[in-house]
Structure formats: structure tokens, C-alpha cells
């Protein structure tokens, strides 16, 4: 498989549409799941030019840092804490337009201004990880991101839960 990534499009939506088939191709790789997830994080970060992209994995009462791309990040997030913990606890996507307005936001980097976090579920509807994407820009995420990142979350679910 080609290891190069090529994203085209002027709008965010066009860029997601260009990137998604490439992420699907990466997901078909039968290598170790963590290798595949690392590649998907790299494709999202570099394909969409985000500041930080990563997965936090549910382990007991914490989220533990998993495959990611970007600056050094917090390694443990307690249940319900921060945006990631809120997405886990509430089983829903959070879009935070200004992290300073989100009570309990965990600042892994002072450069992060806005973020989107999507829960990823197992077959029983339990959250097994969160997909966290951070931006250096305020109000950088909206329903378009949610729509396409939900598709990415679905691909990640298949990678994690697949045999």
C-alpha cells in the first residue's frame, strides 16, 4: 500500500471527502491494531493540518493516552474530567469553541484554543476510547467536523473491534 497521503479540496468538507478513503485504506492494513491506529492519527493530523490528534483509551477509572500525533500530552484523565472525560461520561461528542469557557478543561498545551472529542463505542454501547482533536484556533470545529469525524470514529471502531 502507498504510504503517501494526498489531501485535496478548498473547504474542510472537500478535504474530509478526499481524506476518508485514504483512512479506510489505512484501516484495511492487517498489521498490529496500534500501528494502524497510529497511521490513522497521522493521516488526520497531517491531512487536515490539525494541532493535535489522538486517542485516549478507557482503562478502569481513567483514560490513558494512546496513539497520537502532535506535542507531548497528558497521559491520564480521570472519569468525567476534562472534555475527554465528559465525552466518556456523557457518551456524546463535545465541541468546545473556546477551551477557556469549558469548566474543568485539561490544558495539555496552552496553545490549544478549541477542540472536538468523540466517544468510540464497543458493541455493547460502552465507551472504549475517545478521539480528541485540538486546534490552535478558536471556534475551529463545527457540525461538518462532527459529521466526518463520526465516520472516522466508525472506522476506528472497526479496527479496534475487528478480528
Q: Is 128 helix (H, G, I), strand (E, B) or coil?
A: strand
Q: Pick the piece of the chain touching ligand SME (CB under 6 A) from 26-34, 108-116, 145-153, 154-162.
A: 108-116
| The only residue of 50, 118, 119, 134 in contact with ligand SME, by rule CB under 6 A | 134
Nearer CB in complex with ligand SME: 132/145: 132
Nearer CB in complex with ligand SME: 29/146: 146
Task: For helices 33-48 and 143-161, give the axis angle rounded to 10 degrees.
Answer: 160
Q: Residue 86 CB, nearest distance to ligand SME (Å)?
A: 7
Nearest-CA neighbor of 162 among 7, 6, 27? 27
Q: Pick the piece of the chain touching ligand SME (CB under 6 A) from 33-41, 80-88, 141-149, 153-161.
A: 80-88
Helix (H) or strand (E) holding 130: strand 127-135
Residue nearest to ligand SME (CB): 82
Give per-residue burial for 14-34: e unless 16+ CB within 10 Å, then b.
ebbeebbebbeebbeeeeebe
Phi-psi region of 43 (alpha: psi -120 to 50; beta: other; left: phi over 0): alpha
Instruction: Scan residues 38-77 and list those touching ligand SME (CB under 6 A).
Output: 52, 73-74, 77
Any contact of residue 95 with ligand SME (CB under 6 A)? no
Q: Residue 134 CB, nearest distance to ligand SME (Å)?
A: 5
What are the residues binding ligand SME (CB under 6 A)? 52, 73-74, 77, 82-84, 105-106, 108, 112, 115, 132, 134
Amino acid at each position: 500500500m502507498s504510504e503517501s497521503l494526498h489531501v485535496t479540496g478548498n473547504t474542510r468538507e472537500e478535504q474530509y471527502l478526499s481524506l476518508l478513503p485514504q483512512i479506510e485504506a489505512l484501516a484495511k492494513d492487517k498489521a498490529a491494531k496500534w500501528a494502524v491506529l497510529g497511521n490513522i492519527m497521522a493521516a488526520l493530523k497531517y491531512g487536515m493540518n490539525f494541532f493535535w490528534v489522538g486517542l485516549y483509551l478507557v482503562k478502569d477509572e481513567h483514560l490513558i493516552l494512546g496513539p497520537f500525533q502532535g506535542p507531548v500530552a497528558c497521559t491520564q484523565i480521570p472519569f468525567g474530567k476534562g472534555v475527554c472525560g465528559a465525552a466518556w461520561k456523557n457518551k456524546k461528542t463535545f465541541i468546545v469553541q473556546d477551551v477557556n469557557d469549558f469548566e474543568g478543561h485539561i490544558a495539555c498545551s496552552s496553545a490549544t484554543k478549541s477542540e472536538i472529542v468523540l466517544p468510540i463505542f464497543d458493541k455493547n454501547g460502552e465507551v472504549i476510547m475517545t478521539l480528541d482533536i485540538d486546534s490552535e484556533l478558536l471556534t475551529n470545529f463545527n457540525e461538518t467536523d462532527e459529521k466526518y469525524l463520526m465516520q472516522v470514529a466508525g472506522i476506528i471502531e472497526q479496527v479496534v473491534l475487528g478480528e
